[in-house]
Amino acid sequence: MCPSRDPPPCVPASRRYRTHDGTCNNRKRPRWGSAQMPFHRFLAPEYADGVEGIRRSIHNAQLPSARFVSLVVHGTRQEEAPVTMMLALWGQLLDHDLTATAQPRSLNGSTPRCCGKSDDDLHPSCLPIKVPLDDP
């Protein structure tokens, strides 16, 4: 179902409180950030094959996994952080916002199955994050 192109009715209460579906939270553009609206990109997408292939390095090598980059940047140190549980809750909000994006669907409407398959049998949209056996 496509959202209406007409601007949503923004009632005075939406100026003070946020709405459950995100409409009217931005007064100039009331549909921005609302449910069923696509994300806007800051940069154009970049695919290896120009359509959907996983991006590669400038030398055409496979890019490092997200886990490897995380370990290089943050290391394995165990420090007490001066933050509250609010940081974790904020992270959950961001995580759920990012991971709730639309999934690719085949012509029959099914989503690709990405678990339990070998790398050779994975659907091109499956992007597993590999965790090495010696991962701390």
What DSSP assignment string belongs to 18-73? --TT-TTSSSSSTTTT-TT-PPPPSS----TTSSSPPPB-TTSPBPPPHHHHHHHH
Among candidate residues 20, 40, 74, 96, the one labeled active-site is: 96
- 3-class SS shares of the chain: helix, strand, coil, % to 5: 25, 0, 75
Whether 20 is catalytic is no
**Catalytic (active-site) positions:** 96
